[in-house]
């Protein structure tokens, strides 16, 4: 046992399986209410986000943006610039140092401050009657929270196991910068990492079965596709995956579209085609805990599983796959497990961000989702060439789209695609949370020459042509 913080021996009030964001959130919530908690490690302490997800990818994406920023300086008359990767290994080492620092500061280093949390790392955990079996030890508790997270999924393509391949974790551990990469999947992970590696100087190809960011608005996918093509990224969207094979040291992927069959090759095939929940070995079926077709644990709005007394949160569930929603859901799970109350999971105003450049950030319903929900819908689409901030920055890549109910004018959702879009979406999230109308958003005072002012202009676009307004005249 590795007890970083030893509690009293014997039974616990709560067992938490998994020591990532969700697991720590549940354990700390319980400890703050005076309960004894057994926190069972599952993989490296800190989970996906700090170790091989958000933290390492975003620092590398920022590094790539620094390269792009220098080479894009020519958009200003009289300027030029150039930057390149001089030492890939040094960059990767700096990323790993940051990960280690945050893992210690925000996870392992927190445990000594919570005397009622006992951290246990004795092997794989399995649910049994009355508690959890880990290694040779039986841990008893009346309530359990499962927070074992997820991992990159491997799609069932013939030959895929034989080719040189990477996933979102191993890509960021490469000791040498490759010459070419073939990304399988155009979701948010694939889009972020593909653009990052292209800016590092790698020849990048992206293949996907539908379109880039398939869950986003089509205007966003179209605009991002143009950005990728302008940056030299090759896209093959709307294809069917046929098979893989190795040619020497290279990976070859056969795909088909409506017109032809293609053979695409690269130094590595990068698998970014979704994630799988870590549920194997937990003994879910034997405990009567239902899972969906992916193997994810099905939970209700109270985060309870189909087994009384057992709750789940985070990427192991059928809920939103974002680290902040994992922590939020785990806090609700712990509260409901220990208090008998019914705090409900609410993602109606949940913002999300894709850290491409331009960034893509949204909240609420898309136009298609709003129609499916029965709304009579109206939309507003504003190109960034109407946004003074973008014009001053000489960077009009992007678009803002708002969705509203045509009968009530209430805002239903929206997305901001802009270089600084992630810092603007929370304003829209608050507007949705408090039931704001498009008219009210358009009449709200916003600071001039900001990206967030685009929300005001997009709201005004429902009823007028903002190109006919003076600066700040709306």
Interval 86-117: pLDDT, tens: 999 999 999 999 999 999 999 999 999 999 99
Confidence grade of residue 474 (pLDDT, cut at 50, 70, 90) = low
Confidence grade of residue 473 (pLDDT, cut at 50, 70, 90) = low
**What are the tens digits of pLDDT across the range 413-459?**
999 999 999 999 999 999 999 999 999 999 999 999 999 999 999 99
How large a percentage of the chain has pLDDT more than 70?
97
Of residues 459 and 6, more confidently modeled: 459
Confidence grade of residue 288 (pLDDT, cut at 50, 70, 90) = very high
What is the average per-residue pLDDT within 64-80? 96
What is the average per-residue pLDDT within 464-472? 79
What is the model's pLDDT at position 470? 72
What is the model's pLDDT at position 228? 98
186 annotated among ligand-binding-site residues: yes
Average pLDDT score over the chain: 94
456 annotated among ligand-binding-site residues: no
What is the model's pLDDT at position 11? 86
Which pairing describes strands 150-152 and 275-277: parallel, antiparallel, or unpaired?
A: antiparallel
Asked whether residue 265 carries a pLDDT value surpassing 80, the answer given is yes
Name the residue ranges covered by the structural domains of the chain.
14-46+107-152+276-339, 160-273, 352-468
Task: Tell me the CATH architecture of domain 14-46+107-152+276-339.
Answer: 3-Layer(bba) Sandwich (3.50)
What is the model's pLDDT at position 469? 77
What is the average per-residue pLDDT within 227-232? 98
Topology of domain 160-273, CATH: FAD/NAD(P)-binding domain (3.50.50)
What is the average per-residue pLDDT within 210-232? 97
**What are the tens digits of pLDDT across the range 130-170?**
999 998 899 999 999 999 999 999 999 999 999 999 999 99
3-state secondary structure of 66: helix
Rounded alpha-carbon distances, angstroms, from residue 253 to 39, 157, 177, 212: 43, 9, 21, 19
Q: Which of 29, 44, 53, 385 lies closest to 192, judged by CA? A: 53
Asked whether residue 7 carries a pLDDT value surpassing 60, the answer given is no
Which homologous superfamily is 352-468 in?
A: FAD/NAD-linked reductase, C-terminal dimerisation domain (3.30.390.30)
What is the model's pLDDT at position 10? 52
274 annotated among ligand-binding-site residues: yes
DSSP assigned state of 107: T
Is residue 268 exposed (0-12), middle (13-18) or buried (19+ Cβ within 10 Å)?
buried
What is the average per-residue pLDDT within 378-405? 97
Task: Assess contact for 181 and 205: CB atoms under 8 A.
Answer: yes
58 annotated among ligand-binding-site residues: yes
The whole-model pTM stands at 0.94
Asked whether residue 471 carries a pLDDT value surpassing 90, the answer given is no
Cα gap 330→37, rounded to integer Å: 14
What is the model's pLDDT at position 123? 84
What is the model's pLDDT at position 392? 96
DSSP letter string, 368-402: HHHHHTT--EEEEEEEGGG-HHHHHTT----EEEE
Element (H, E) at 145: strand 144-146
190 annotated among ligand-binding-site residues: yes
**What are the tens digits of pLDDT across the range 314-354?**
999 999 999 999 999 999 999 999 998 889 999 999 999 99
34 annotated among ligand-binding-site residues: no
| Domain pair 14-46+107-152+276-339 / 160-273, same fold | yes
315 annotated among ligand-binding-site residues: yes
Q: Which of 339, 469, 152, 317 lies closest to 328, judged by CA? A: 317
What is the average per-residue pLDDT within 45-69? 95
191 annotated among ligand-binding-site residues: yes
């Amino acid at each position: 046992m590795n007890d970083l913080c030893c509690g009293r021996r014997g039974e616990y009030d709560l067992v938490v399986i998994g020591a990532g964001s969700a697991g720590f959130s549940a354990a700390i919530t319980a400890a703050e209410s005076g309960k004894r908690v057994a926190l069972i490690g599952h993989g490296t302490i800190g989970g996906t986000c700090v170790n091989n997800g958000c933290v390492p990818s975003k620092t590398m994406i920022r590094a790539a943006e620094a390269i792009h920023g220098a080479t894009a300086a020519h958009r200003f008359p009289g300027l030029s610039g150039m930057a390149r990767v001089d030492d890939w290994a040094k960059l990767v080492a700096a990323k790993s140092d940051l990960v280690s620092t945050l893992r210690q500061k925000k996870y392992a280093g927190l445990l000594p401050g919570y005397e009622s949390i006992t951290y246990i790392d004795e092997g794989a955990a399995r649910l049994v009657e009355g508690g959890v079996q880990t290694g040779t030890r039986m841990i008893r508790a009346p309530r359990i929270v499962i927070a074992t997270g997820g991992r990159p999924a491997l799609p069932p393509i013939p030959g895929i196991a034989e080719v040189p391949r990477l996933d979102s974790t191993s890509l960021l551990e490469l000791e040498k910068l490759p010459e070419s990469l073939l990304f399988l999947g155009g979701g948010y992970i694939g889009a972020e990492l593909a653009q990052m590696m292209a800016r590092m100087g790698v020849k990048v190809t992206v293949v996907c079965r539908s379109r880039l960011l398939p869950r986003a608005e089509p205007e966003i996918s179209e605009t991002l596709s143009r950005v990728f093509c302008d940056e030299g990224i090759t896209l093959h969207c709307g294809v069917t995956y046929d098979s893989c094979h190795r040619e020497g040291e290279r990976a070859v992927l056969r795909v088909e579209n409506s017109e032809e069959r293609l053979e695409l090759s690269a130094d590595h095939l990068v698998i970014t085609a979704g994630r799988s929940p870590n549920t194997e070995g937990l003994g879910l079926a034997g405990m009567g805990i239902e899972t969906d077709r992916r193997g994810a644990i099905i939970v209700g709005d109270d985060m309870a599983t189909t087994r009384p007394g057992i709750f789940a949160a985070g990427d192991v569930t059928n809920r939103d796959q974002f680290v902040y929603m994992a922590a939020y859901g785990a806090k609700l799970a712990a509260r409901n497990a220990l208090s008998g109350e019914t705090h409900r999971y609410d993602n109606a105003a949940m913002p999300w961000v894709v850290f491409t450049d331009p960034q893509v950030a949204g909240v609420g319903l898309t136009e298609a989702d709003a129609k499916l929900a029965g709304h009579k819908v109206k939309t507003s689409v504003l190109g960034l060439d109407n946004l003074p901030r973008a014009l001053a920055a000489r960077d009009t890549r992007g678009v803002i789209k708002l969705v509203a109910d045509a009968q009530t004018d209430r805002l239903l959702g929206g997305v901001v695609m802009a270089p600084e879009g992630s810092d603007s979406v929370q304003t829209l999230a608050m507007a949705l949370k408090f039931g704001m109308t498009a008219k009210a958003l358009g009449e709200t005072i916003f600071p001039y020459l900001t990206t967030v002012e685009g929300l005001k202009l997009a709201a005004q676009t429902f009823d007028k042509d903002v190109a006919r307004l003076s600066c700040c005249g709306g």
